[in-house]
Amino acid sequence: MITKLMSGQFLASVVLLLVACGGGVSTQVPTTVSFTATVSDTQLPTTTTATAVVVQHPIGIIAIGHSGMTGESSDPTRPGQDAKENSWATGTAAEVNSVYQRLIVVRPEAAGHVANLARGGAPVTALVSQAQAAFEIVPNPELVVIQTIDGDIQCDGSDPQNVKAFGVALAAVLQVIVETSPDSQILVVSQQGRPALDAAVMAKEPSVWEKFVGSGI
């Protein structure tokens, strides 16, 4: 109930019945608004029709980042190529059981509301443009997944100096997400750059090192 005093003359009590819309899509709902206006102590019963807008609820998922998000090389028939149907975040292949597939189980209305703009080799500085493009497809996602820091690691001795710049770039995309879709949940995932293995462990169990080296993907 909304009560408002206008120019000291009109006192209106307005009751709006908003009908929620399934699927999280904004909908205009014809709404009957009844109120009583008091003008110079004269009662004037009035009925009119207004249009109430139901606010869109977050729905779906977007994914941005590097090749860890694209399913690259997961299809043996397409080595070195993206296979986004196998993406752990947004994939549709039954064998993957991606985050998107699990989201649909609990939010059936999320089906079809998905965007994966990740790109192989994308640095942290590419995340803002990826996010902006993803929001064009899914404007108000329930979940935003970011997988970053990969090619950003140089391993040439300059990494300590690059940490601050990386943080600034990551903060920039988080700000874009929060400003564009403030109700979205954000998940940021990464991987270790170069694991610090204890020399004693290495000496005792050399096979441990084999888990972290190799020429394959």
The predicted pLDDT at position 215 comes to: 65
Do 176 and 128 form a contact (C-beta atoms < 8 A)?
yes
Question: Based on the domain organization, do 137 and 46 belong to the same domain?
Answer: no
Question: Based on the domain organization, do 116 and 22 belong to the same domain?
Answer: no
The predicted pLDDT at position 26 comes to: 41
Question: Based on the domain organization, do 46 and 116 belong to the same domain?
Answer: no
pTM here is 0.67
Which residues span the domain enclosing 83? 65-189
The answer to whether residue 109 is domain-embedded is yes
Question: Based on the domain organization, do 88 and 177 belong to the same domain?
Answer: yes
Question: Based on the domain organization, do 71 and 44 belong to the same domain?
Answer: no
- Interhelix angle 159-180/127-137, nearest 10 degrees: 20
Question: Based on the domain organization, do 69 and 12 belong to the same domain?
Answer: no
Question: Based on the domain organization, do 48 and 134 belong to the same domain?
Answer: no
Question: Based on the domain organization, do 36 and 108 belong to the same domain?
Answer: no
Q: Find the largest Cα–Cα distance for the chain.
A: 95
The answer to whether residue 205 is domain-embedded is no
Residue with the bigger pLDDT between 29 and 121: it is 121
The answer to whether residue 47 is domain-embedded is yes
The answer to whether residue 166 is domain-embedded is yes
Q: Where are the beta strands (DSSP E) in the chain?
A: 2-6, 10-14, 27-39, 42-54, 61-65, 114-116, 143-147, 185-189
Question: Based on the domain organization, do 42 and 82 belong to the same domain?
Answer: no
Mean pLDDT on 88-97: 96
Question: Based on the domain organization, do 40 and 139 belong to the same domain?
Answer: no
Question: Based on the domain organization, do 50 and 70 belong to the same domain?
Answer: no
Question: Based on the domain organization, do 85 and 131 belong to the same domain?
Answer: yes
For the record, the structure tokens of 8 come out as: 């000291």
pLDDT tens-digit readout, 34-65? 333 334 444 444 444 444 344 479 999 999 99
The answer to whether residue 204 is domain-embedded is no
In this prediction, residue 199 has a pLDDT band, given cuts at 50, 70 and 90, of low
The answer to whether residue 196 is domain-embedded is no
For the record, the structure tokens of 188 come out as: 């940021």
The predicted pLDDT at position 143 comes to: 98
Report the distance separating Cα 108 and Cα 85, nearest Å.
19
The answer to whether residue 50 is domain-embedded is yes
Q: Tally the domains of the chain.
A: 2
The answer to whether residue 173 is domain-embedded is yes
Report the distance separating Cα 80 and Cα 96, nearest Å.
19
User: How far does the chain reach from its first CA to its final CA, in angstroms?
Assistant: 62
Q: Where are the beta strands (DSSP E) in 76-206?
A: 114-116, 143-147, 185-189
pLDDT tens-digit readout, 143-157? 999 999 988 988 788
